[in-house]
Amino acid sequence: MPIVRIDWAAVDRMLNSPAGMVGRDCQQRADRTAAQARQFAPGSMSESIAPPVVQRGAAGPSAEITVRHHAVGYVIQGTPPHPIRPRPPKRALRFTVGGRIVFAAAVNHPGTKPNDFLNKALPAAL
């Protein structure tokens, strides 16, 4: 009768290590998700999406995709209508409308709709 010996340390590395079979699959899925998120991200925000990092967690490998952009929370959650005023000591806002430079003491921003581009990108991991 043959004897089967299981190398439990090897099984643990395969299942839980970022370099193991499951960890490599997790990295590939995270890379696809980050690439998709870069396509969905508005403007220069796509450039601030860091390469995914796979870590060993309590339940096995997990991936983290980080966006390093100061406005990411406003994009993902959206903003309500709000006034914009210049910061002191400035007395006016300066912007371009239709190719013309315009000055204003304040403007009423209409707000923005949420764009949860990270969650929209998740199906790329499947």
Is 75 a domain residue?
A: yes
Is 1 a domain residue?
A: no
Is 119 a domain residue?
A: yes
Per-residue pLDDT of the chain (126 residues; tens, 9 = 90+): 899 999 999 998 888 888 889 999 999 999 999 999 999 999 999 999 999 999 887 888 899 999 999 999 999 999 999 999 999 999 999 999 999 999 999 999 999 999 999 999 999 888
Is 2 a domain residue?
A: no
Is 34 a domain residue?
A: yes
Domain that holds residue 38: 8-125
Is 23 a domain residue?
A: yes
State the pLDDT at residue 1.
82
For the entire predicted model, the pTM comes to 0.78
Is 17 a domain residue?
A: yes
State the pLDDT at residue 59.
80
The sign one gets for the Cα dihedral 35, 41, 43, 47 is: negative
Structural domains counted in the chain: 1
- Residues 120, 33: Cα–Cα separation, whole Å: 9
Is 3 a domain residue?
A: no
